[in-house]
Amino acid sequence: MALDPDLSAAIAVTRFGLGAKPGQLAQVRTDPRGWLTSQIRAQGAELPRGNPEPSDQRLAEFRQFAQFRRQAQGRGRIAGPAGRNADAAAGVGGPSPDMMQAGPDPRPDAQAGSVAAPGGQAPDPVRMAQRLIRQEAAVDVLARAQLASTTDGDFRERWALFWCNHFTVAANKLQTATLVGPFENEAIRPRVFGRFEDLLVASSSHPAMLLYLDQARSVGPDTMAARFLGRGDSQPGLNENLAREILELHTVGVEAGYTQADVTEFARAMTGWSIGALRDPDGQVGRFRFRPMAHEPGARTIMGRRYAEGGQEQALAVMRDLAASPHTAHHLAFKLVRHFVADEPPPALVAALERAYLQSGGDLAHVATALVQAPEAWSPQAQKFKTPYEFLVSSWRAAGTQPDRVEAVAQVLNGMGQRPFSAPSPKGWDESAETWCAPDAVVKRMVWSEGLAAQVLAGRDPSQLARDALGARLTPLVATAISRAETREEGMAIFLMSPEFQRR
């Protein structure tokens, strides 16, 4: 049974997109599926404005600071609490609690080096680095939110955000905090409609992922590097983090039946995947570098397949097979349907995406097309409860505005439990409604809605904004409640807090 064009337009923009902007539903109404498929393109998703420094430049700057810190400590210029802060800045500890709060000027070219120590002493390099990192992260957070709030390709943006969450890199260390934005721009966004294998390799070899999951320091136990570095407790050894997360989260999933031995063998195959250091040639500093002396020699057997010794190619061969696995097809299809359609994915839709993946050799453009063409994806019932980020973005879009300060994004999301670039684990942010609809969380949304209404209404009619944002999904009950509100601001808050707007 064909859906009403008005309802189809509303589903297209609110479920597959990020929420309607004023006038958008009328544009989509003529061909909702065509509007979605037209956003699938070989060059991937847009990059947020601002053209931030590439990851290698940011990482090189950070490592120069770390080197200066060690030299200063050796001269006795950093001691006590400052020394402990320096350890955190070098990635030993976690980020400061206010890392995502903006300084006076969140531009990347702001004068971070102007922090002077008390009494006219030399500037504290720890505070200098922390402020610079806060500024860089703030630029990235704000630019991404502004793109989501204004783009006309909002299905493309939602698709990209799904993959950013699938390949999570979190700001749990100061050196990764400044790399999350570049990681998304360099590894994820250009490849979201390409082959999954390419996306897997790009994300797994990016410096942000190598640092986040400690792969950069992984050394084979029977290598020249291990003999040179020694075997003390503080020395690098075999690290299984990235190998485990690729198997469990990024590709085949726990139901594939791999063993701990498979994880260990994969980790051995990945030894040598590292990052260029300051002592390396300039073209390699802060970029992926394969270190043959750290690569564990020998053939590996992983999930029943044997992989000959081949240096860097050994891990690539494993990833190639993982990307082609039917287990990966099912794992990704299940996650995609859960993200776009329902917390309990319809099995028929999951199966349809599995087939699209396998028949196309992991072509994500083909999978995206199968999703938007499948009848099961167009159920009239809105079953997905918006995450805090989705709620904020769809609210800005409904109001025809965008955040102009990072505080309008970071502080609000911190309070709602979805701190920017800081998913609690490599699993990324949870998709289920129960995570986000607790009573306290709903109250926080209500308070924010009232504040937004006071800022953006400027005499506009909230009833019209509700019709523009929800279209055929706006029920008579909610429409009446908005029209009978005592003030326009109250009407706007009722609209934003309605079940129709909170779900997509």
What confidence score (pLDDT) does residue 1 get?
57
Hey, which residues does 273 pair with through a beta bridge?
Answer: 290
Q: Does the residue 468 lie in any domain?
A: yes
What confidence score (pLDDT) does residue 63 get?
75
Our CA angle for 219, 224, 225, nearest 5°, is 40
Residues 359, 424 within the same domain: no
What confidence score (pLDDT) does residue 125 get?
63
Residues 360, 231 within the same domain: yes
Q: SS3 for 213-278, per residue?
A: CCHHHCCCCCCHHHHHHCCCCCCCCCCCHHHHHHHHHHCCCHHHCCCHHHHHHHHHHHCCEEEECC
Q: Does the residue 167 lie in any domain?
A: no
Instruction: Express each pLDDT in 75-95 by its tens digit.
Output: 665 444 333 333 333 222 233
| 381 Cα distance to chain centroid | 27
Residues 359, 417 within the same domain: no
Q: Does the residue 184 lie in any domain?
A: no
**CA gap 29, 7 in Å, rounded:** 9
What confidence score (pLDDT) does residue 234 get?
55
Q: Domain count of the chain?
A: 2
Q: Which domain holds residue 263?
A: 213-340+344-380
Residues 233, 349 within the same domain: yes
Residues 374, 389 within the same domain: no
Distance linking the first and last C-alpha atoms of the chain: 21
Beta 305-307 vs 288-290: how paired, if at all?
A: unpaired
Residues 367, 225 within the same domain: yes
The per-residue b/e assignment along 15-42, b for 16 or more CB within 10 angstroms, e otherwise, is bbbbbbbbebbeebbeebbebbeebbee
Q: Does the residue 409 lie in any domain?
A: yes
The kind and range of the H/E element at 191 are none
Q: Does the residue 437 lie in any domain?
A: yes
**CA gap 57, 37 in Å, rounded:** 36
Residues 221, 365 within the same domain: yes
Q: Does the residue 183 lie in any domain?
A: no
Spans of the chain below 50 pLDDT: 78-118
Q: Does the residue 42 lie in any domain?
A: no
Which of these three, 380, 405, 440, is where a domain ends?
Answer: 380
Residues 395, 494 within the same domain: yes
Residues 317, 412 within the same domain: no
Residues 237, 349 within the same domain: yes
What confidence score (pLDDT) does residue 124 get?
65
Residues 330, 220 within the same domain: yes
pTM as predicted: 0.90
**CA gap 61, 178 in Å, rounded:** 11
249 and 324 Cβ atoms separated by less than 8 Å: no
What confidence score (pLDDT) does residue 28 get?
98
Closest by CA position to 354, among listed 377, 321, 322, 325: 325
**CA gap 320, 315 in Å, rounded:** 9
Residues 246, 336 within the same domain: yes
Residues 6+ away with beta carbon under 8 Å from 201? 316, 319
Hey, which residues does 503 pair with through a beta bridge?
Answer: 385
